[in-house]
Amino acid sequence: MAILQLEDGTTYTELEEISRRLEPLNVRLNYWKVGEDPELKALLNQSALDNEEKEQVLLELDHYFEHLKQTDGYQSRDLIALHPDIPNLDSLMAKFESCHTHADDEVRYIIEGEGVFGFVCPDGSQMELTIQPEEYINVPAGSEHWFHLTDKKRIKAVRYFITTEGWVPEYTETKIRIDSQKNSLLIG
């Protein structure tokens, strides 16, 4: 279940209210079922996946990809699996933990674990959205945002691309003032 925290500490957990709060940013959040296939569930319970296992998971979920290809023009997808045993995980994640934008939409379907997207609103306020399994998020091109893992440092997500070049972060100078992990505002 997604959790949205506003800068003033207000928290929302209902999809309808979260969607209403994300509307000015044109961020889309949906729930997509992973399914009950026992083999897929077993793969999702593994910390790491080899390339063959990743492709197996992607094939099981490709009905979503086919829909996105038809409706939004997506051309490719991959599966990212992050966990605490990955060498240099913190340095890998550091490039996404600062405010940035992308030339293309950032689209993820979380199938295991959790992560946090932070957003700078049109009025300059900030909010963070914790996303969990079976949640699909589309952050539009040009949206000022950041991303970090929760304390669990685990996530498996299908990423959808129109072009992979559009996902290169373009950093802004905006300071992040909210930290949902601590559930408080940062002084600064």
188 in any annotated domain: no
Q: What is the pLDDT of residue 188?
A: 34
| 100 known ligand binder | yes
62 in any annotated domain: yes
For the residues 129-158, what does the mean pLDDT come to?
96
Q: What is the pLDDT of residue 166?
A: 63
- pTM, full prediction: 0.90
For the residues 57-86, what does the mean pLDDT come to?
94
86 in any annotated domain: yes
31 in any annotated domain: yes
The model's pLDDT over 42-69, given as tens digits with 9 standing for 90+, comes to: 999 998 999 999 999 999 999 999 999 9
Domain CATH number, residue 77: 2.60.120.10
Q: How many structural domains does the chain have?
A: 1
DSSP output for 115-181: EEEEEE-TTS-EEEEEE-TTEEEEE-TT--EEEEE-TT--EEEEEEES-GGGGS-EE--PPP-EETT
User: Is a pLDDT exceeding 70 seen at residue 32?
Assistant: yes
90 in any annotated domain: yes
Considering only CA atoms, which of 82, 89, 161, 79 is closest in space to residue 114? Answer: 82
Q: What is the pLDDT of residue 187?
A: 32
| 106 known ligand binder | yes
132 in any annotated domain: yes
Considering only CA atoms, which of 142, 138, 96, 91 is closest in space to residue 120? Answer: 142
Domain of 120? 3-176
For the residues 34-47, what does the mean pLDDT come to?
93
Considering only CA atoms, which of 15, 20, 9, 17 is closest in space to residue 128? Answer: 9
| 66 known ligand binder | no
157 in any annotated domain: yes
For the CA atoms of 74, 172, 150, 186, the dihedral, rounded to the nearest 10 degrees, stands at: -150
The model's pLDDT over 159-184, given as tens digits with 9 standing for 90+, comes to: 999 876 667 889 999 999 986 554 43
- Count of C-beta atoms within a 10 Å radius of residue 27: 22
User: Is a pLDDT exceeding 70 seen at residue 73?
Assistant: yes
112 in any annotated domain: yes
Through-space distance between the first and last CA atoms of the chain, rounded to whole angstroms: 30
Average pLDDT of the chain to the nearest whole number: 91
